Structure 1
Amino acid sequence: MIGADGRERPVAIVRVPATSANVGVGFDCLGIALDLTATFLMTPAERLEVDGCEERFRGEDNLVWQSYLEACRALGLEAAPLRITILSPIPLSGGLGSSSACVIAGVAGAMALAGGGFDRERALELACAIEGHPDNVAPALLGGLVSSFVDGDVTTSTRMDVAGNLRFVAIAPPYEVRTADARRVLPDTVSRETAVWQMGRCVAVVRALETGDAALMAAACHDRLHEPYRSKLIPDYDALREAALGAGACAFMISGSGSTMVAVADGDEAAAQVAAALTRTCPGYWLQTLPANTLGTTVELQ
């Protein structure tokens, strides 16, 4: 890219997939990358410029820019003003990792523009520090299905492939669920019975996603930790869940803290039937049928 001063300037191109955290029974530990990709273009400029997003996100508090500044500080780099172009199909209503994508873009852009290349492990560390938790940033960086846990300042993420037959039908209402509200409605304690219920089903869901076992997914994906409480914040949840399962979905879950929801289907034909049922139930809502993303974040410097 040629700048206003006539000099050629590098362009970092960062591509980050959407993500769905929790995956039903994996509260705050599981996340899956979906094949819906946001692209971020970043190049040094005379002053900060942000385009491709809503006007309210074009100032100094833009999350890509703030994450870039945080990464530069952590890496000991000098932060230069940037021109940032955001090309993102991820809905902003919440639940598909739109904010995590911006955090990763800022971190990856700082690394790429410094000329040191993209260090995925260090990027995960920085993104977790900025985002505060790994359940979206880890699958967005690594792709596939990711299980994460945190011990002090150390995040350990384990990546697994998702079977190719599974499809994820995501539907996003035109309203948001505030993360603070989604946290506030959760109970402070759970019974031993609930803990045991959850642990066994979490392991089974991981196995079902790896092997493509739709019957196991249907049997295991029944959450008791968060969805019974968070579903009350989503007026369309009950109707959409009934429609999805009635049309043949093997599971239906809140994506992250909502308001987006995801139905899991075995194959394209079943997914098409589920998508049609969801559209009939809530016509006009944003809806996409997606496979899992296998690549995670990619970075290119031109």
Structure 2
Amino acid sequence: MGLTFVAEPVRVRTPATSANLGPGFDAVGLALGLHDDLTARVTDSGCTVSISGEGAGDLPADESHLVVRAMLRTFDELGSRPAGVAVECVNRIPQARGLGSSSAAIVGGVLLARALAGGELPAADALRIAAELEGHPDNVAPCLYGGFTIAWTESSGARAVRLGAAAGVHPTIFVPQERGLTSTARAALPAAVPHGDAAFNAGRAALLVHALTAEPELLFAATEDRLHQGYRAEGMPGTAALVAALRERGVAAVVSGAGPTVLALSPVPGDFRPGAAWRAETLSVDVAGALA
């Protein structure tokens, strides 16, 4: 027997996210107080998408849109698709900048489909579906759960735990006009790294958990990385230079996700000037995650 879909529109708000946070490559992420608002309703046929804000005029407006693809994948998981859907996206998360815009779209689509189908999908299954679509769970986990998350993958799929970020964590993003591609950033990574660098990152990643949740004064040391940022620097020289300039001032700065955005986790000196190429914005930590 097919699903019975709700007649009224449903709404989801999804937060931006920053993954890696220095040494926590492909494992940790933080939800940020910058959001996309998505609305969907069942229609008689077809899939349509209207977009305002970030990505308007660039993103597809049919079933190939990532929100719709996530909705259809979730409907299939639940056992039935509606005849059609109409989706409205109000996007504020910059596209292709390392702030989790694709994860926000995927998580939004999963939760829109769940809401239209009556809400019968556990959060663990929503995470599993979202991670399968994204390819890794480090961004979808904080987007779904909020706060600071540690994510990993088992044979059954993605899993994550949520931890509360300490009050002394003050995220500031530096967003350039240029865009980046995760696939390009990943292509810069070597197949193997020195054992000493792996050991260094293991220690810093463990320290990062403590610094983010209990002792933000340790964030500068905790955000040191030898696993990915150095290898990606040549492809993002402006990003690497800004991270270095902030760290010279004692700021716990990292590449946000695959870049090119830079994330500072400790307060930025008031006289610091990143240059005209960068838009700076201080955000809160989003503690709620995606809201339906």
What is the TM-score with the length of structure 1 in the denominator? 0.88
For residue 41 of structure 1, the aligned residue among 36, 39, 42 is 39
Cα-Cα RMSD: 1.8
Structure 1 residues 64 and 87: alpha-carbon distance in aligned structure 2, compared to 1, 3 A threshold: same
Q: Could you tell me which amino acid in structure 2 is paired with residue 52 of structure 1?
A: I
Deviation of 1:118 (Å): 5.5
Query: How do residues 61-100 of structure 1 correspond to structure 2 at under 5 angstroms?
Result: 61-100=64-103
Structure 1 residues 116 and 241: alpha-carbon distance in aligned structure 2, compared to 1, 3 A threshold: closer
Aligned residue number for residue 108 of structure 1: 111
1:50 aligns with 2:57: no
Aligned residue number for residue 160 of structure 2: 157
Q: How many pairs are equivalent?
A: 282
What secondary structure sits across from 1:28 in the alignment? strand
Q: Could you tell me which amino acid in structure 2 is paired with residue 281 of structure 1?
A: P
Query: How do residues 1-302 of structure 1 correspond to structure 2 at under 5 angstroms?
Result: 9-46=7-44, 47-53=46-52, 54-57=56-59, 58-117=61-120, 119-214=122-217, 216-249=218-251, 251-265=252-266, 270-271=267-268, 273=270, 277=272, 280-283=273-276, 285-299=278-292
Deviation of 1:225 (Å): 0.4
CA contact (8 A) 1:177 1:233 kept: no
List 4+ stretches of structure 1 deviating above 4 A: none
Greater CA drift, 285-294 or 201-210: 285-294
Q: Could you tell me which amino acid in structure 1 is paired with residue 189 of structure 2?
A: L
Structure 1: where are the runs of 5+ without partners?
1-7
Q: Could you tell me which amino acid in structure 2 is paired with residue 97 of structure 1?
A: G
Deviation of 1:117 (Å): 4.6
Deviation of 1:49 (Å): 2.4
CA contact (8 A) 1:271 1:289 kept: no
How many angstroms apart in 1 are the aligned matches of 2:277 and 2:192? 38
Deviation of 1:132 (Å): 1.4
Q: For residues 179-229 of structure 1, what are the alpha-carbon distances to aligned partners after superposition, in whole Å with 9 as ceiling and x for unaligned? A: 221111111111221111111110001100001422x11122110000001
What secondary structure sits across from 1:130 in the alignment? helix
How many angstroms apart in 1 are the aligned matches of 2:62 and 2:154? 35
Structure 2: where are the runs of 5+ without partners?
1-5
How many angstroms apart in 2 are the aligned matches of 1:234 and 1:211? 32
Q: For residues 124-148 of structure 1, what are the alpha-carbon distances to aligned partners after superposition, in whole Å with 9 as ceiling and x for unaligned? A: 1111111111000011101111111
